[in-house]
């Protein structure tokens, strides 16, 4: 089923993003297009008019609902949990839990493009055991964010550590925090 | 952590390194286990392909070994 959905995802070029967490419950989605924002030096250009979300055909669009802000941040953006809805027709759809990295600043967006290119390189080299990236998208607005959408990858060892017994956590911490990080 | 997961994480990192990629952010937050005990490496925000050296790849592999060995 996942493979079938992945196949359908690759041909859809519009991502309609809703916020559904904390105080957010958006009615009108932000519109993202598939692909990286290549030209970041576009100050002074006028943004195109916003297109109504319903004008995109079902087989061209993906619906993304961000459900929480994970809070983790790295050089290429801020991580969120989300649900990706893939519509098959007007009545049927599939939901896929995803991780979404939103890049806001120019620097984050450049790093996001770099991260995407690393994934494409690893895909071409048949690297195994890495998270599956579903695509990179950029907002319609010239100064808007970009995002990288990946399948949920399970439970991190950091989350599992939180569920350790106190004596196990103590032993673990000694090893982990005494290890110099390059 | 069972020996299967440990071996899977190390095999995955070796696969990444064989592609010439330095992950650059190996830590507990980047290592995931699925329900099926499948080991997954994520978070490539600090990864790089160019200018990686054998010493860097070796150091990252050793760091991964220490991390995995420290987990009860």
Nearest CA in chain A to B48: A118
Inform me whether the pLDDT recorded for A169 exceeds 70. no
Give the count of beta carbons closer than 10 Å to the beta carbon of residue A47. 12
Mean pLDDT score of chain A, rounded to an integer?
81
Q: What is the mean pLDDT of residues A119-123?
A: 95
Per-residue pLDDT of chain B (72 residues; tens, 9 = 90+): 788 999 999 999 999 999 999 999 999 989 999 887 899 999 999 999 988 899 999 999 999 999 999 887
Residue A148: left if φ>0, alpha if ψ -120 to 50, beta else—which one? beta
The ipTM (two decimal places) reads: 0.93
Cross-chain Cβ contact A158/B28 below 8 Å? yes
pLDDT exceeds cutoff 80 at A167: no
Reported as a single tens digit per residue, the pLDDT across A10-52 is: 889 999 999 998 888 888 899 999 988 765 554 444 444 456 6
Rg of the Cα trace of chain A? 18
* B67 contacts on A by Cβ (under 8 Å): 157, 176, 179
Rounded CA-CA distance A13/B64 in Å is 37
Sheet with B39-41, strands from edge to edge, namely A155-156, B31-33, B39-41
Average pLDDT of span A111-137: 94
Residue A111 backbone dihedrals phi, psi, to 5 degrees: -65, -35
Q: Cβ A156–B28 below 8 Å, yes or no?
A: yes
pLDDT reported for residue A176: 45
Is the CB of A101 less than 8 angstroms away from the CB of B44? no
Whether residues A176 and B28 touch (CB distance < 8 A) is answered with yes
Give the pLDDT score at A17: 93
A94-118 tens-digit pLDDT: 999 999 999 999 999 999 999 999 9
The SS3 assignment for A56 reads coil
Nearest CA in chain B to A166: B72
Bridge partners for A146 per DSSP = A103, A138
Instruction: Return contacts of A159-166, CB within 8 angstroms, 24+ apart.
Output: A160/B33, A161/B28, A161/B71, A164/B72
pLDDT of residue A21: 85
More confident of the two residues A162 and B39: B39
For the whole prediction, is pTM greater than 0.95?
no
């Amino acid at each position: 089923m996942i493979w079938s959905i992945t196949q359908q995802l690759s041909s859809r070029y519009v991502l309609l993003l809703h916020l559904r967490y904390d105080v957010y419950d958006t009615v009108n989605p932000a519109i993202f297009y598939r692909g990286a924002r290549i030209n970041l030096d576009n100050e002074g250009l006028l943004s195109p008019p916003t297109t109504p979300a319903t004008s995109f055909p079902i087989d061209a669009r993906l619906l993304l609902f961000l459900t929480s802000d994970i809070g983790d941040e790295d050089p290429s953006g801020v991580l969120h949990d989300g649900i990706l809805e893939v519509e098959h027709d007007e009545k049927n759809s599939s939901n896929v839990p995803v991780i979404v990295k939103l890049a806001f600043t120019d620097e984050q967006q450049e790093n996001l493009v770099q991260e995407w290119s690393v994934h494409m390189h690893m895909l071409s080299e048949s690297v195994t055991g890495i998270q599956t990236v579903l695509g990179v998208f950029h907002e319609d607005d010239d100064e808007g964010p970009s995002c990288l959408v990946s399948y949920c990858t399970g439970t991190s060892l950091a989350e599992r550590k939180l569920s350790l017994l106190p004596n196990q956590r103590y032993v673990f911490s000694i090893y982990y925090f005494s290890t110099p990080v390059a | 952590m069972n020996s299967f997961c440990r071996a899977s994480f190390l095999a995955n990192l070796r696969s990444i390194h064989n592609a010439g990629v330095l992950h650059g952010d190996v830590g507990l937050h980047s290592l995931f286990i699925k329900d099926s005990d499948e080991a997954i490496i994520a978070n490539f925000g600090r990864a790089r392909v160019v200018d990686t050296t054998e010493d860097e790849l070796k150091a990252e592999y050793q760091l991964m070994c220490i991390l995995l060995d420290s987990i009860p």
